[in-house]
Structure 1
């Protein structure tokens, strides 16, 4: 069974693919993630920030906002979904 690149929980029926370096910044590689994890990433970081951090989920998890999300989602079922807060302008 595959695991989510961001939270390391087992993947469910719905899988999305995240570009650690956004396509708009030249990224080609993708990583499997839960839809809720994918939305949390893009709600927390700009494409410029994602390009700078790259393929390092541990570095992403050091962000306090994303760390709170990861702690909250850790014991949820693989197919769990909830609305994601939007990025603050």
Structure 2
């Protein structure tokens, strides 16, 4: 039996719903895509602009160190792969 592919952001196994994220946004020339849970994908875009995502690039360790994401990752860690909740947006 093969090991399920983990989410690029939270490293939990992926469920039935998978979204593909460009670590460097397509609008900024990004071509690579990585698999994410829908809640992880929405959280990334709720907290970071495309310019910020471009600067961070594919270094998910840098993203995980950001305070707003580290709190989210600690909260989501024990949730099942299909877990969904409304995504909070940051105040800009």
TM-score of the pair, normalised by structure 2: 0.94
Specify every segment of 5 or more residues in structure 2 that has no aligned partner in the other structure, as ranges: none
Distance 1:31 1:85 in 2: 22
Q: Residue 87 of structure 1: CA displacement?
A: 2.9
User: After TM superposition, what 4+ stretches of structure 1 lie above 3 angstroms from structure 2?
Assistant: none
Q: 1:70 aligned to 2:73?
A: yes
Question: Where do residues 1-89 of structure 1 align in structure 2 (5 Å cutoff)?
Answer: 1-89=4-92
Q: How many residues align?
A: 89
> For residues 91 and 14 of structure 2, what CA distance do their matches in structure 1 show?
28
Q: Deviations over 1:19-74 (max 9, x none)?
A: 00000100011000000000010111110010000001110011101100000000
- RMSD (CA atoms): 0.6
Unaligned ranges ≥5, structure 1? none
Query: Which protein is bigger by CA-based radius of gyration?
Result: 2
